[in-house]
Structures are given as structure tokens and as C-alpha cells.
Amino acid sequence: MVSLNSRTLVDALLAAPPHRPFVTVWSDEEDSCTVTFGEFIGLAKLQAASFQAHGIKSGDRVILIMPQGIPLMASFAGAMLVGAVPAILAYPNFKVDPEKYSSGLAGVSRNLQARLIVVDEDFPVEFSNHLAVASDAQLLRCGDLPVVSSDDAKLPHDRSSSESLAFIQHSAGTTGLQKGVALSHAAVLTQLEHLAMALKISAHDRLYSWLPLYHDMGLIACFMLPLAYHLPIVMQSPIEWVVRPGTMLQLISEYRCTLAWVPNFALQFLARRVRQEDRNYDLSGLRALINCSEPVRAQSIDEFMSAYGQYGLRPDALKSSYAMAENVFAVTQSEMGAPPPRMVIDGKELSQRNVALPIADGAAQGVCFVSSGRCLPGNHLRIVSAEGRDLSDSEVGEILIQSDSLFEGYYNRPDLSDAVIKDGWYSTGDLGFRIDGELYVIGRKKDLIVVAGKNIYPQDIEEIVCRHPAIHDGRAVAFGLYNEDRGTEDIVVAAELEKETEAKGAFKIEQTLRNAIAAELDVAPRAIFLMPPGWIVKSTAGKPARSTTREKLLAQHPELIEGQVA
């Protein structure tokens, strides 16, 4: 395995062999561009010099709002070279609400007390003007950076200590969520060492990613890991991947990539959206495609394997992980060399008694769970009840974690930090259980729906809904709504139609969905709303945002709150 002997991420970057390839950016509209580590360091030094010319010094916070690509990555590294603390935020797209986006950026900037906000030349003027008024930070536009030799720009890097802040990453959600996770160089490097050990990283590995760099999966696994271990990575933008999902497998095949991370929904998306005639891949070199979205779904894995197993993909290449920004990234990782373990659980016992009781595969009311793996070295977890009591194996409760790469709190938000960190343990807000040392994640505690004493997990409802061919993959949201007359919660579902023309058959689609939910979960939804494409609100990580979608639906249908829907 490649060893890591660096005190800071800057040290790790500057120790890279200059002629070794680093980042290849692929675009459907342009020729691919590859920079070596030496060229990348040169770009980073140019950005560092620019930051210094604008008065940026060690410890200053720098916000980066730029499209995916080498300029963004070089700006991030350039900020670290001068000892500044960078934070990447989501770039605006046509779906964002301008007022909410602008307000969110200003709020994050004030919370971080940022000295500088760096945007690209195409950043919308209306957002720039708002930021100039609402934030004390200086706004700097920068064009595309030229590819130069590192010898063309000399700049001594700041000798940061391992305990100094490396960067700040924000939890997935809206831009206005002022929960900046501040991470030291030591915490990040410690996490990377544990991750590299678990994945058996070698100098022969090559990574692939379409993941946005403002999210921990993209930033840590697909930028910091190759940066620290001097590995090449092939990248494309998230937008290009969504438009042409098959390009992911094309690039993995063409560049012989060995490692990639994806959220759970991407597996089904790839299985269903890539035409059979376009599948001409060689996936035999892919040794780990890591499903890093909780909970991991057996059906998603099976669909993907069924679609692409014939192209050289090994069953043991599909891995799983449990991760979060507050722990830098990964808490658990499934072991190399074998598929993640599965467990078929009695759904009735799970919903009524919060106990994961194994039953035979194929048994009535059986629910299949896929393990998210075992704890990485230096990581520990507990499963606790609502009262904080430690639970035994098979009992379902909240997941608490403690590790040597755990964050110390949200930046400038001691109120939020104190609410989730107690005696060195972080309360994740996720529910799960352990069996034989393996962690099985069920879902978010706050999203749990309780119907007449039964615990219903919204992910289970959403998975059933998304199986219908008229529903867009991954675009369904289920939530609970308290019914005073019944004294319990009702289930409400919002789902996006694949095409607007599907609305003509809305009544039949709704009845089919009702029957499927009732048959599998033994509950009946109060209301199902079939929405046009693009209606569901998504987080900055690209996942459906339940709470925000719930607010949007209730605003459009106040009769739900008034109790007028049967």
C-alpha cells in the first residue's frame, strides 16, 4: 500500500512526483484535459499569489463558488498554500430560487466571517450584486487558469501545523444551512490513512468521479484522497453525468479506473437509463464501486449487477460505506474481496418492536438490509435508545460515533455543536442496528413515520413508489402528517412523473402505488400527489430534500393541514 508521511495536506501535495498525471477533466463538448501534479501545483501557486495580492493571509476564510473543474480545485489548493481556510459552496443552477440562494450565501459568508468570495466569470450578476451588499467579504472573479509549469510561479507555502484548520465543508442541504464542518489537517490525513488501508490503495489505482466537490463524498474521496496519495483521477461534471449517465461507465472502461463512489440512486439510474445498444464496456478493472448513501439498497445493487455483470464487473466490486462530513468522510467500509453482507429481517418485528430479527430469505414480511460495513480503524460507534441507553446487537436505535477524525464542532455555531456532541460522541440522527460487527443503516431519525404504533421508514415507501415505470427514478418523497382525529400520523407521498404525458393515467398510477404500499408495508397512504418533472426539491447533494419538499407540498395543498383530504 502507498504510505502517507505528511504533516499537512500541503506537504502531501508538494511531495507529489511532478510528472505523474493528476486530474483528467472530461467533457462531452471539449477535448479532455489532463494536468500533472507539477502543473497542478503551478496553478495552485498562481492562485495563492493572487490571494496574497488581495490581502489573504493565514487563517482567513475563502469561499469558492465555481463550476466543477481544475480552476476550482487549484483555487482550493491555492488557499491552503497560503494557510487560508477554503470552503466550496454549490454553484447556482436554473432550479435554484434566486432570493433564497443569495440570502443563503450571505448567511454562510457572515457565519464563516469570510474575507474573500471567489466566483467564475459566468457567475450571475444578480447574485454578485446581492453579495456585494449583504456580505463584508470581497468578491473576486477569476477566469479559467492557464496550464503552466510550477517553475513559473514561486511562492513559499505557509508552514501550517497539523492541528490548524485545513478547510470547512458543509453538510448536505440548502446553501442557507449554516453548519460549516471545520476540519484540521490532522483529522483529514488521519481519515485518509484509515480509508486507504481499508481500500488497500496502491500506486496502480485510478479514480473516477462525477460527484460535486462541495459534498464530502466528492471532496474527500475524489479530491483529497488522490491529492494525498498522488493518484490520478478522471472527472466529469454532475450535469453531464445526469444528461448522459452512460459516460460514467464509458470513462471507467476507457481509462481503466479502479475506484469510484456513487450514491445509492445512481445504481438504479445507470441500470435503467443506459440503452442496451450503448453498453460497450470493459469493467473488469473496477475493483471497488462504493455505494455511499444510507441506507444501501439491495434492489439497487442487484439491478446494477444484473445490467453490467456481463461486462466484466465482479460481484465483489460493489461495496458500501457509511459516511458524513462531521467525520471528514467515512465511518465504516465494507471489506475488500467479498460483497457486503445482507440480512433479511422480519418487517413486522422491526416496525412494532424496533428489533431486527433475522428470518429466512423469501419469507413473508421479510425486508432485506445491506451492511454498510465495519468501523474503520480509530472509529467507534454505539446504538442507543431514545433515552440514551446502549442497545445490544439487533436492537434498532440512533447511531452515535466517536473517532480520531471527528470534527470538534460546527464553525461559529456552539449552539448546534452542543446539541449533537456529548462526552466526545456525535449523535448522527441516523437509525440503525448491528449484527456480527456489521452496521446496517435504516434512515433518518427525524424522518421516521409512526402509524398506529408501527415504525415506517420513508425510504421503504419511496423505493416502492420509484419502482413504477411512470415515476422518475429517485424522485419520490414520503413523510408523516399528524392526524388529530386518529391520534397518529398519516402517510403523504409526493412523486415526480417521468413525463408530463403520464398525468393522463394518474388515477391508475395512484391506485397501483397504493396497492403496492399496502401489500408490502401493511399501511395505506393518506394522499399520493403525482407531480410534473422537476417538482421535487433537491439538496445540494442531489438527493430529494424531504423537509423542504414537505413545506412546498403543504403550501400548495393547505387542505392537508386542515384535514380535508380523505
Residues 370 and 292 in one domain: yes
Specify if 459 maps to a domain.
yes
Q: CA 549 to CA 538: how far, in whole Å?
A: 8
Question: pLDDT for 245-303, tens place per residue?
Answer: 999 999 999 999 999 999 988 998 899 899 999 999 999 999 999 999 778 999 899 99
Predicted pLDDT at 161: 85
- Please say if the pLDDT value at position 562 is more than 70: no
Phi, psi of 203 (to 5 degrees): -65, -10
Question: pLDDT for 159-174, tens place per residue?
Answer: 678 999 999 998 654 4
354 three-class SS: coil
Name residues whose C-beta falls within 8 Å of residue 128's C-beta, 6 or more positions apart in sequence: 119, 139, 141
Q: CA 532 to CA 556: how far, in whole Å?
A: 14
Higher per-residue confidence, 541 vs 230? 230
Determine if the pTM surpasses 0.85. yes
Query: What is the mean pLDDT of the segment spanning 298-320?
Result: 95
Q: Give exposure, 179-190, as e/b (b: 16+ Cβ within 10 Å).
A: bbbbbbbbbbbb
Residues 365 and 328 in one domain: yes
Predicted pLDDT at 176: 47
Q: Cell for 202?
A: 496502491
467 is in which domain, residue-wise? 448-562
Q: CA 335 to CA 322: how far, in whole Å?
A: 13
- Please say if the pLDDT value at position 433 is more than 90: yes
Query: What is the mean pLDDT of the segment spanning 215-235?
Result: 97
Specify if 187 maps to a domain.
yes
Specify if 229 maps to a domain.
yes
Query: What is the mean pLDDT of the segment spanning 463-479?
Result: 92
Residues 80 and 174 in one domain: yes
Q: CA 371 to CA 423: how far, in whole Å?
A: 27
Residues 222 and 292 in one domain: no
Predicted pLDDT at 128: 74
Residues 114 and 146 in one domain: yes
Question: pLDDT for 342-355, tens place per residue?
Answer: 999 998 899 889 99
Predicted pLDDT at 134: 58
Predicted pLDDT at 30: 77
218 three-class SS: helix
Predicted pLDDT at 391: 97
Give the pLDDT band of residue 122 (cuts 50, 70, 90). confident
Specify if 3 maps to a domain.
no
Report whether 351 contacts 455 (CB < 8 A).
Answer: yes
Specify if 1 maps to a domain.
no
Residues 428 and 458 in one domain: no
Give the pLDDT band of residue 133 (cuts 50, 70, 90). low
**Which H or E run includes 240?**
helix 238-243
Query: What is the mean pLDDT of the segment spanning 459-475?
Result: 91
Question: pLDDT for 404-426, tens place per residue?
Answer: 999 989 999 999 999 999 999 99
Residues 371 and 486 in one domain: no
Report whether 330 contacts 195 (CB < 8 A).
Answer: yes
Predicted pLDDT at 348: 87
419, 445, 471 - which closes a domain: 445
Question: Prior bond to 315 cis, omega within 30?
Answer: no
Residues 494 and 347 in one domain: no
Q: Report how many domains make up the chain.
A: 3
Question: pLDDT for 39-79, tens place per residue?
Answer: 999 999 999 988 988 889 999 999 999 999 999 999 999 99
CA distances from 168 to 214, 348, 560 (A): 10, 42, 40
Q: Cell for 376?
A: 474503520
Residues 130 and 272 in one domain: no
Report whether 57 contacts 82 (CB < 8 A).
Answer: yes
Annotate 115-147 with DSSP letters as a single string.
SEEEEETTS-HHHHHHHHHH-SSEEEEE-PPP-
Specify if 199 maps to a domain.
no
Specify if 161 maps to a domain.
yes
- Please say if the pLDDT value at position 96 is more than 70: no
Mode of pairing for the β-strands spanning 527-531 and 488-497:
parallel
The residue among 155, 149, 178, 183 whose CA lies nearest residue 168 is: 183
Phi, psi of 95 (to 5 degrees): -90, -15
Residues 13 and 154 in one domain: yes
Task: Provide the CA 294 distance to its chain's centre, in angstroms.
Answer: 10
| Number of neighbours of residue 352 by Cβ within 10 angstroms | 13
Dihedral sign, Cα of residue 248, residue 253, residue 257, residue 258: positive
CATH code (residue 215): 3.40.50.12780
Residues 166 and 62 in one domain: yes
- Please say if the pLDDT value at position 100 is more than 80: no
Mean pLDDT of the chain: 89
